[in-house]
Structure 1
Amino acid sequence: MKFLWCTLIVSDIEKSVNFYKDVVGLKVYERFKAGEHEICFMGDGETKIELLCDKKYTVEKRGEGISLGFEVLSAEKAVDILKKKGIEAETKIIQPKPDIKFFFVRDPDGYRIQFVENIK
């Protein structure tokens, strides 16, 4: 069995596509309308995220308990790059053990996005 994608329900497809493209660095693989919904698959390899825009779907605490992790070469450099794009880190850089550092930001719908540096 192979993991294909994770679906995120989003409120504004343009804001979400721009966030995952410009901030995270993912590419758009496929984008289409399906009835009342607009769907966009994005990724940088085999595994993808599916952004599903559903204007009727409202959740007070959207994204609670969900986070997506993306590897970066340097946590410190990633923080600086995000600041230049107007995105503040939600946490300081955390280093729970010697071989990993990470921090979190929020996407336009409040999902937690984790940027992880694996130290070799």
Structure 2
Amino acid sequence: MSLNWITLRVRDLEASLNFYHDILGLPIERRFESRGKQIVMLGTGAQPKLELIQTIDQTLKPECGVSVGFEVKSLDEAIEYLKSRGIPVLRGPITPNPHLRFFYILDPDGFEVQLAEHS
């Protein structure tokens, strides 16, 4: 068994695409409609994908404990880049051991996104 994708239901698909594709750089694998809902799959090759599904549900609760994590080459460069794009650091940087540093930001719907650097 292997992980195929993680689904986030989002209120504004274009705002989420701006965040995940334009700012974080995830490539769009495909975009389609299914049962009246707009869906976008983001990611590369055989890696697990991030599936964004636009919903009109205004009771969306991102504080449900879901977070999405990405690896970066340089945590310091990622922080500066995101700040230049107007995205503040929510928490961190945190260094739980000498080989790992990470911080959190929020996506447009309030889901936590962790960026981590392993050394």
Question: Mind listing any 5+ residue stretches in structure 2 that lack a counterpart?
Answer: none
Corresponding position of 2:67: 67
Corresponding position of 1:2: 2
Letter of the structure 2 residue corresponding to residue 91 of structure 1? R
Q: Distance in 2 between matches of 1:88 and 1:74?
A: 17
RMSD: 1.2
* 1:10-25 alignment runs, 5 A limit: 10-25=10-25
Shift of 1:60: 5.5
* 1:1-120 alignment runs, 5 A limit: 1-46=1-46, 47-55=48-56, 57-59=57-59, 61-119=61-119
Q: Distance in 1 between matches of 2:43 and 2:59?
A: 25
**Between the two proteins, what is the percent identity of the paired residues?**
39
Question: 1:63, 1:109 within 8 Å by CA — same for their partners in 2?
Answer: no
TM-score w.r.t. structure 1 length?
0.92
Runs of 4+ in 1 over 4 A off after TM superposition: none
Question: 1:70, 1:114 within 8 Å by CA — same for their partners in 2?
Answer: yes
Question: Mind listing any 5+ residue stretches in structure 1 that lack a counterpart?
Answer: none
Q: Distance in 2 between matches of 1:45 and 1:68?
A: 18
Number of residue-to-residue matches in the alignment: 118
Shift of 1:23: 2.2
Question: 1:36, 1:54 within 8 Å by CA — same for their partners in 2?
Answer: no
